[in-house]
C-alpha cells in the first residue's frame, strides 16, 4: 500500500522477496510449501481470507493451508458456518485458541471433524481433538496441533507435557508437524520452540494479532516466528473498532467492542518443508493487503470457483 502508512507496497510482502519465490533447496529435492494464517477476525477477516487464499495458493505453489479460526465469528469464537466458509476458501486445517467455546454450537464440529483441533493442553473432558491431519497437494500427510501459553492466560495444563504426548500419538502418522503456539508472552513461544526444535517442522505464534520480525530456522530444522499477525481489519485495536476501545479505556464505561472493517490484510507465514524428513528449510512472513491482493490476482490464474 503506497498510501499514508507507508507500511505496505501494492504487492504481497514476503520478507521483501515478492511473489513467486523459488522453493528453498531440499536434501532430497522434494520440498512442500505450507501457508500458515494468523487469527482470522470476524466476518471481514473471513471475507478477505476467501479472496486471498486462492490467489496465494496459485502464486506461491502452496501445498497445504493452515489457519487459526478462533476469532472468526464476531471476533470471539467460531460458528459452524464460519468454519465451513474457512474450509471452502481453501484452508485444509484449522487451529483454535482460548476463545474456542465462545460459540458453543461449534462443539459438534469439534467432536466429529478431523480437520479442526482444540488446544492440546486443555483438559481431557474439553470437547475436540488434540490434533488435525490432512494430506497435502503433494501427497504428504501433515499434522497440526495448537497449545495455549500459561503467562497472562487462563489456567491450562502444561503445554510442554501436552506437546510431548501429542508427538507420541503422531508417531508413524506424519513427519511434517506444524504447531500453533497460541500465547501472550513471547518467552512462552520461544521456550516451546526450543523444547520442540528438531521434533516438529514449525512452531508458529498466534494470539497477539501483532506480527513480529523474528522468523528463523532453529537447527536442525524447525521454523519459528513469535507471531504471524492477524487476518482482518488492521485499522483497529487488534481487530476491534478504535472508537469503542478508546472510549472504554478512557472513561471506564463499557461498550461493545465490535469488529472493525478498515484496512483488511492477511497475516501469516510461508514455510518450506523437506517432505522426506519433516525439517523446515525456509520461512517467510506474509502480509497481504487489498492493493497487494489485486496486484497478485493480476499475475496468476485463479481456478474457476475460487475467484470469490
Q: How distant is the alpha carbon of residue 167 from its chain centre?
A: 20
The residue among 229, 227, 238 whose CA lies nearest residue 205 is 227
**pLDDT confidence band for 300 (50 / 70 / 90):** confident
pLDDT of residue 19: 40
Residue 5 pLDDT greater than 80, yes or no: no
pLDDT category of residue 297 using cuts at 50, 70 and 90: confident
Query: Which residues are catalytically annotated?
Result: 99
Beta pairing partners, 224: 203, 216
Q: How many CB atoms lie within 10 A of CB 102?
A: 16
Whether CATH 3.60.21.10 fits 31-297: yes
Contacts of 247 by beta carbon, 8 Å cutoff, 6+ apart: 253, 255
User: Do residues 38 and 267 touch, judged by C-beta distance below 8 A?
Assistant: yes
- Find the mean pLDDT for residues 9-30: 49
Q: Is the pTM of this model over 0.75?
A: yes
Cα maximum dimension of the chain: 60
pLDDT grade for 299, boundaries at 50, 70 and 90: confident
| DSSP code at position 46 | H
Amino acid at each position: 500500500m503506497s498510501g499514508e502508512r507507508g507500511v505496505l507496497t501494492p504487492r504481497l510482502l514476503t520478507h521483501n522477496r515478492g511473489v513467486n519465490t523459488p522453493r528453498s533447496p531440499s536434501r532430497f529435492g522434494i520440498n512442500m510449501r505450507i501457508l500458515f494464517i494468523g487469527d482470522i477476525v470476524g466476518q471481514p477477516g473471513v471475507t478477505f481470507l476467501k479472496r486471498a487464499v486462492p490467489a496465494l495458493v496459485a502464486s506461491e505453489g502452496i501445498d497445504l493451508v493452515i489457519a487459526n479460526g478462533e476469532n472468526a465469528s464476531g471476533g470471539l469464537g467460531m460458528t459452524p458456518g464460519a468454519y465451513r466458509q474457512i474450509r471452502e476458501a481453501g484452508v485444509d486445517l484449522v487451529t483454535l485458541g482460548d476463545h474456542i467455546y465462545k460459540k458453543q454450537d461449534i462443539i459438534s464440529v469439534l467432536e466429529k471433524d478431523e480437520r479442526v483441533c482444540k488446544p492440546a493442553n486443555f483438559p481431557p473432558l474439553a470437547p475436540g481433538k488434540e490434533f488435525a491431519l490432512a494430506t497435502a497437494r503433494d501427497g504428504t500427510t501433515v499434522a497440526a496441533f495448537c497449545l495455549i501459553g500459561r503467562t497472562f492466560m487462563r489456567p491450562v495444563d502444561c503445554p510442554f507435557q501436552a506437546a510431548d504426548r501429542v508427538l507420541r500419538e503422531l508417531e508413524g502418522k506424519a513427519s511434517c508437524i506444524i504447531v500453533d503456539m497460541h500465547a501472550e508472552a513471547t518467552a512462552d513461544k520461544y521456550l516451546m520452540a526450543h523444547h520442540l526444535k528438531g521434533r516438529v517442522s514449525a512452531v508458529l505464534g498466534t494470539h497477539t494479532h501483532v506480527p513480529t520480525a523474528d522468523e528463523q530456522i532453529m537447527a536442525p530444522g524447525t521454523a519459528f516466528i513469535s507471531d504471524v499477525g492477524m487476518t482482518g481489519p488492521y485499522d483497529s485495536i487488534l481487530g476491534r473498532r478504535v472508537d469503542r476501545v478508546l472510549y472504554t479505556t478512557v472513561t471506564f464505561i463499557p461498550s461493545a467492542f465490535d469488529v472493525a472493517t478498515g484496512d483488511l490484510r492477511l497475516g501469516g507465514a510461508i514455510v518450506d518443508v523437506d517432505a522426506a524428513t519433516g525439517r523446515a528449510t525456509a520461512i517467510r512472513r506474509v502480509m497481504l493487503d487489498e492493493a497487494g491482493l489485486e496486484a497478485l490476482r493480476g499475475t496468476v490464474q485463479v481456478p474457476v470457483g475460487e475467484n470469490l
